[in-house]
Structure 1
């Protein structure tokens, strides 16, 4: 579907990020963010707020490594860009790990340009750790080096905040999402409703609020893959008819009930 000029500009601002990362241009990368921006990477860990914190995040996770973005799809809705991708990271020790990921960028106009106000990186820290250790000695050495770097740049609290990403809805959350999407694919609104918290918010597509029955009707025959549990959110690559996109399913803070479903799509759903 053709995009308007604003969407082009939003995409250009987002695509500047992997270019700066590849060039190891710290000033350019940090400069993509507004002053009070928040980076949630991985989502579910303690966020990094403000350019000073984002600069320290860069020092730990970007500066020592070679990072390649392998993008399958970009989605633009309003002032949000969602990327469906994999990221291959080669550590300073030579260990290379590739993890599936969904990235969400929320942008604002600042000084006549689009800047990132919030970056949420949905990927699974436990998966990254297992794959890193699976590379052998190089992976273990990378892990040994990372600990002191974390503490030196982020402090003990920051290092512990990173480990929060190991908690969250995990596999049980993925199973709930599987049931939710399975019910939606069969247009079974009653089965869907049983999984929602009272007052749950649904958007299909993103930016268009719908009720459970309407969601079920629109999502008939939907397919999904690449479920990622990060914090209390499960994201998934989805397909509804010819439309492809990414869905974010948010869970209540203290229960397995779903409180929000937002589906970003690359085109309207065919009637």
Structure 2
């Protein structure tokens, strides 16, 4: 329990530093070789120098509030199911359904973030942004200046790769797998899996597909999103809450890997 509390406390320093607009404190939460993927599917920011530029582009100019639904700790990983409230300017506030994954590493007796992955849908966020109409003009100009000024053309292009993500077809596939597992239809569930698909409890504990189906008995999805090649599902089942990551094939209709993190 002490380690769990320590990990959660380490993660909680991130929204606290962001809310205080404390650049040095936020960047200092990361290991020297840390990686930030935000959103997953975009080009990662590696090392504190790039992470500092990420802060200057996306965090520093905005007020971000974390509305948490669920925290899960697995080994040295903390998963957070939440909604991000992002004030882009005085007249534009975005509400972004997201999942955050923090991989932590102990450095000199202190837990630091080695990898931060943010699973949220860039196209959906942009659509929400544009629906604000003329109010989006000033925040859009500010974001564009920040992207080009801090990230350059290459970094801006790297951010835009986040538009390619698991879409409606992939989410339908994963939700069909979940519904089949929920009603105990193993054969229908198995059909959604690639022949070489792996299923694990957490990151690495091998979980037989039949056991996963059992764990998903009576399950329903609370939230689903697609980022990069991953469909992420917040699950409620007879066994309680969980978060499930399903890596999908870009082409075809198959799930290549499932990682299941129970609460």
* TM category, shorter: over 0.9
| TM-score normalised according to structure 1 size | 0.93
Alignment partner of 1:210 is 2:207: yes
Give the TM-score normalised by the residue count of structure 2: 0.95
> 1:173, 1:159 → 2: CA distance?
26
Q: CA RMSD in A?
A: 1.5
Q: Secondary structure at the match of 2:16?
A: helix
Partner residue, 1:54: 51
Aligned to 1:170: 167
Q: For 2:73, what is the secondary structure of its paired residue?
A: strand
Name the SS for the 1:75 alignment partner.
Answer: strand
Residue-by-residue CA offset, 1:191-247 (whole Å, 9 max, x unaligned): 222222232121246653212122112211111121101111011110121511211
- Per the alignment, residue 36 of structure 1 pairs with 33
> CA-to-partner distance for each residue in 1:133-159, whole Å, 9 max, x for gaps?
222322232112211210111111110
**SS of alignment partner, residue 91 of structure 1:** strand
Structure 1 moving runs of 4+ over 3 Å: 204-208, 252-256
Q: Which of 221, 225, 232 is the matching residue for 2:222?
A: 225
* Mapping of residues 140-151 of structure 1, within 5 Å: 140-151=137-148
Cα distance in structure 2, aligned partners of 1:112 and 1:205: 24
Corresponding residue to 1:104 among 78, 101, 121 = 101
Cα displacement (A) at 1:252: 3.3
- Kindly state the Cα deviation for residue 93 of structure 1 after the two structures are TM-superposed: 4.8
Taking structure 1 as reference, are residues 218 and 242 closer, same or farther at Cα in structure 2, changes over 3 Å only? closer
**1:190 maps to which of 184, 187, 190:** 187
Contact 1:40 1:120 in 2 (8 A): yes
Count of residues in Structure 1 that have an aligned counterpart in Structure 2: 263
Distance 1:158 1:205, change over 3 A: closer
Unaligned runs of 5+ in 2: none
- After superposition, residues 83-102 of structure 1 pair within 5 angstroms as 83-102=80-99
For residues 54-78 of structure 1, what are the alpha-carbon distances to aligned partners after superposition, in whole Å with 9 as ceiling and x for unaligned?
0000000011100000011111010
Which range is displaced more, 187-196 or 26-35?
187-196
Kindly provide the CA deviation profile for residues 158-204 of structure 1, in whole angstroms up to 9, marking residues without a partner as x.
10111111112211111111111011112222222222223212124
Residue 117 (structure 1) aligns with: 114
Q: Quote the residue 2:176 is aligned against.
A: 179
Match of 2:14 among 13, 17, 21: 17
Q: Indicate if the aligned counterparts of 1:206 and 1:265 stay in contact, CA closer than 8 A.
A: no
Per the alignment, in what secondary structure is the counterpart of residue 140 of structure 1?
Answer: helix
Match for 1:238 among 207, 228, 235? Answer: 235
In structure 1, the residue corresponding to 2:86 is in which secondary structure?
Answer: strand
* Bigger mean CA deviation after superposition, 140-149 or 124-133: 140-149
Q: Aligned partners of 1:215, 1:34: CA distance in 2, in Å?
A: 34
